[in-house]
Structure 1
Amino acid sequence: MIISARNQITGKIESVKEGAVNAIVTLKTDGGAAITSTISMSAVKDLGLAPGKEATAVIKATEVMIGIGDMKLSARNQIAGKIESIKEGVVNASVTLKTDDGNTITSTISMAAVKDLGLAPGVKAKAVIKATSVMMAV
């Protein structure tokens, strides 16, 4: 299957914490970072997710925020790296972050945010993604 989501990061399931309706699934990327996803228990069972299983975290670029500096947030996924490139549009920009573990994450954010944060290639930043915005694929 080919999908439009820009961010498809592979790894192995590290843990599955089951609840009555949802589970918190942690994927350890091939580079060693952890990505947390909150998905339904039926999805966990349908996908056969269990520790050690290979999977892919799928995240739309519009669901990725970019932050700089120290941030205390409820978002579980805060992945550090450096801005690799910025493709500017009139209203929005496509920002690519090269993560410290070697992956790339693309974010679609406003041009105002790019300017306000002083984003440019080489700037240290973090991709911030709520666990509920991370899908899992096998």
Structure 2
Amino acid sequence: MELTSNLTLELSDQPFLLEKRIELLKAIKNYGSISKAAKAVPMSYKAAWDAVDTMNNLSHTPIVSRETGGKGGGGTTLTEYGENLLRTYTVLKEEQKRFLERLKLVTDVDKGTLKTIGRLSMQISARNQLSGRIEKIVKGKVNSQLFLQLKSGNTLISVITNDAVETLGLKEGDDVTAIFKSTSVLLGTGEMLISAENRFEGIVETVREGTVNAEVVIKIGELDRIVAVLTKDSVEQLGIESGCKVFTLIKSADIMIGK
């Protein structure tokens, strides 16, 4: 059994972009004529203009422009805003498709086992969730190395199973989220040799001390932050305080990937 769904965008609590209207906008872009576009969709000429008028009236900026007269006899074209809406809708439609594919993987509709749907929307307690793009995937016999470029420009390496790569449909160029616990982050204040693949230099932004442990927020680059939790004794021994330079260390096997 397949899972399908239409995608509708609302504006001011009114249906704004429906799939039929998107098809009409695509046809207007291709033909430059409302009559030819209506035939291609297909819909009546009146229905096509009603749809265009509705979209234009709901939108703060016109989507379709009508030109009359002139050497070519006029025509109908998309505005720059209309072109942008088409591109945006295409991206959203692709994301919806990916969601339905994931939903199908974790759900057996025929047997009625729908309880696993909750996995798709569960909240994750891990403090570190960094966005990145897959630069390279190196597959081994069992596991794969994923090289992610973070927003800060740093490269983060994660090791996950080949089955996980296949299940998530991961490929180079995909935008993903790297997830790891704050307790998996080690901190150092001096130069050191260590086998951990992920070693980043950063500046401590804040130190929040509790009764036993302390939470340290480290800024790596301009756009990424890593949270580490260690004992208060460790913070004191390392002399960690706001503004000091530290090195963060994360094992690649401790980093999960979400998509």
Report the TM-score when normalising by structure 2. Answer: 0.52
Q: 1:118-133 maps to which residues of 2 (within 5 A)?
A: 118-133=239-254
Match of 1:6 among 113, 116, 127: 127
Runs of 4+ in structure 1 over 6 Å off:
none
1:75 equivalent in structure 2: 196
* Cα displacement (A) at 1:101: 4.2
Query: Does the CA contact (< 8 Å) of 2:152 and 2:220 recur in 1?
Result: no
Kindly indicate whether structure 1 or structure 2 has the higher relative contact order, using CA contacts under 8 Å at least 6 residues apart. Answer: 1
Partner Cα separation in structure 2 for residue 57 and residue 101 of structure 1: 18
* Cα displacement (A) at 1:50: 1.4
Partner Cα separation in structure 2 for residue 100 and residue 13 of structure 1: 18
Give the letter aligned to residue 15 of structure 1.
K
Partner Cα separation in structure 2 for residue 66 and residue 50 of structure 1: 31
For structure 2, the 5+ residue unaligned runs are 1-120
Alignment RMSD (CA, Å) = 0.9
* Cα displacement (A) at 1:102: 2.5
1:89 maps onto 2:210 in alignment: yes
Partner Cα separation in structure 2 for residue 22 and residue 81 of structure 1: 29
2:137 equivalent in structure 1: 16
* Largest Rg, 1 or 2: 2
| Bigger helix share | 2
Match of 2:224 among 93, 103, 109: 103
Give the letter aligned to residue 203 of structure 2.
K
Task: Name the count of aligned residue pairs.
Answer: 138
* Cα displacement (A) at 1:47: 1.1
Partner Cα separation in structure 2 for residue 101 and residue 131 of structure 1: 22
Partner Cα separation in structure 2 for residue 90 and residue 63 of structure 1: 20
Superposed CA deviations along residues 85-130 of structure 1, whole A, max 9, x for unmatched, are 0110121111100112431110010111100110000000111100
Superposed CA deviations along residues 36-88 of structure 1, whole A, max 9, x for unmatched, are 01110000111111110000100111111111121110000011110000110
| Bigger strand share | 1
For structure 1, the 5+ residue unaligned runs are none
Query: Does the CA contact (< 8 Å) of 1:32 and 1:101 recur in 2?
Result: no
Report the TM-score when normalising by structure 1. Answer: 0.96
2:169 equivalent in structure 1: 48
Q: 1:24-39 maps to which residues of 2 (within 5 A)?
A: 24-39=145-160
Secondary structure of residue in 2 paired with 1:46: helix
How much identity, in percent, do the aligned residues show?
37
Match of 1:65 among 186, 209, 218: 186
